Amino acid sequence: MAESLPELVHRSYPRATLAHGNVTWLDAMPLHVPPTGEQVEVTLIEDDGSRRVVTGHYYPFDHLAGGTLLLDPDLAHLGEVLIDAGGRKYESRL
């Protein structure tokens, strides 16, 4: 197993369930190692309207459409997010 950088371990990641076209934000998930899910594009729209694209980590469900998304812990205080994961597009406020 590869070693993790100290700044990437023992952090809590903002987490959402993506299902049925909806985004449900859940409590942050503490992880001892960085997430390893499928990397997906997440567009952040700040309150001033500016946009930036970041990488989220997507874990698709195996029994239905949708999955769980983890974001970088530094992104816990966002405005609107646009998510492209599992072949679907989602929009939500964090």
Of the chain, the percentage scoring pLDDT greater than 90 comes to 34
pLDDT digits (tens, 9 = 90+) for 20-29: 888 998 999 9
Domain spans of the chain, in order of start: 6-93
Single pTM value for the model: 0.81
Residue 36 burial (C-beta neighbours within 10 Å; 0-12, 13-18, 19+): exposed
Q: Is the pLDDT of residue 1 over 50?
A: no
Using left for φ > 0, alpha for ψ between -120 and 50, and beta otherwise, residue 72 falls in beta
